[in-house]
């Protein structure tokens, strides 16, 4: 890059401005990267808790449904599940974290009262109710896990993108700009030295010419004085 730039004062000022802006951008991106990492660590802690809850809720739901099937039979369990009329509703919104848009999932009609599940209370047992409770809680945890995992992925992608930008500025653009700045400064210094040397030679030449003229003038004056002296003697 440095060899492609003409070594002029104008280009030097332009490169110095680019260096200043790039350094400011580098500092801003570093702060953003550090802030994103802190936010990501918070979300990661939340994700770990949600994953633990998800495993526990799944095991509980599996035990509950197995027990219901063993006590009531598959037909009764499937009949209770098919009786559900009000299905859960999922809505998604978004929120901004350090410039990263992450989803915010809202759910309704997930956990229900006994009279909202559609199956009659007569002919079913507490085993089916427990299985329904367990699966409703599991669904709530799944929805939360989807929100947290998606947010974590988006934050991680933004961190990687910001790190690439920081590295590009730090290890590519800024070194190239500093090299170009140094190249132009060196060329301008060389030009300045050459100009000083040229001016000195011109000055020396002028002084030599002036000295020669003065010497010639002095010699002419001496000759004229001698002629005048000889004429006076005659």
Using CB atoms within 10 Å of the CB of residue 57, give its burial: 0 to 12 exposed, 13 to 18 middle, 19+ buried.
buried
Do the domain assignments include residue 6?
no
**8 in a structural domain:** no
Residue 61 lies in a domain: yes
Checking phi first, is residue 99 left (phi over 0); if not, alpha (psi -120 to 50) or beta? left
Domain coverage including residue 29: 23-156
Decide if 88 contacts 109 (C-beta within 8 A).
yes
Total domains in the chain come to 1
Is 49 among the domain residues? yes
Domain presence at residue 228: no
Q: Tell me, yes or no, whether 128 lies in a domain.
A: yes
73 sits in the region (left: phi over 0; alpha: psi -120 to 50; else beta) called: left
> How far apart are the C-alpha atoms of 185 and 103, rounded to whole Å?
51
Mutual orientation of helices 74-82 and 126-168 as an angle, nearest 10°? 60
In a domain, 97, yes or no: yes
The average confidence (pLDDT) of the chain is: 84
- Domain holding 114: CATH number? 1.10.287.3240
Q: What percent of the chain has pLDDT over 90?
A: 46
Would you state the pLDDT for residue 180? 92
Task: Give the model confidence (pLDDT) of 22-78 as tens digits.
Answer: 999 999 999 999 999 999 999 999 999 999 999 999 999 999 999 988 888 888 878
Query: How far from the centroid of its chain's Cα atoms is residue 186's Cα?
Result: 34
In a domain, 12, yes or no: no
């Amino acid at each position: 890059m440095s060899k492609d730039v003409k070594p002029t004062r104008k280009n030097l000022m332009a490169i110095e401005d680019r260096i200043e802006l790039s350094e400011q951008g580098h500092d801003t991106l570093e702060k953003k990267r550090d802030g994103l990492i802190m936010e990501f660590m918070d979300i990661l802690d939340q994700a770990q808790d949600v994953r633990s809850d998800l495993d526990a809720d799944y095991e509980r739901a599996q035990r509950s449904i197995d027990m219901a099937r063993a006590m009531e039979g598959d037909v009764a369990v499937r009949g209770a599940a098919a009786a559900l009329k009000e299905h859960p509703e999922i809505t998604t919104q978004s929120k901004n974290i350090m410039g990263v848009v992450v989803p915010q999932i809202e759910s309704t009609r997930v956990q229900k009262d006994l009279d909202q599940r559609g199956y009659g209370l007569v002919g079913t047992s507490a085993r089916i109710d427990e299985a329904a409770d367990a699966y409703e809680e599991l669904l709530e945890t799944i929805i939360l896990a989807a929100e947290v995992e998606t947010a974590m992925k988006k934050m991680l992608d933004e961190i990687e993108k910001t790190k690439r930008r920081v590295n590009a500025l730090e290890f590519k653009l800024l070194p190239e700009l500093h090299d170009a700045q140094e190249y132009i400064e060196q060329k301008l210094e060389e030009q300045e030295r050459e100009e000083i040397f040229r001016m000195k030679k011109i000055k020396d030449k002028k002084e030599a010419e002036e000295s020669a003229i003065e010497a010639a003038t002095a010699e002419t004056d001496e000759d004229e004085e001698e002629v005048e002296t000889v004429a006076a003697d005659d």
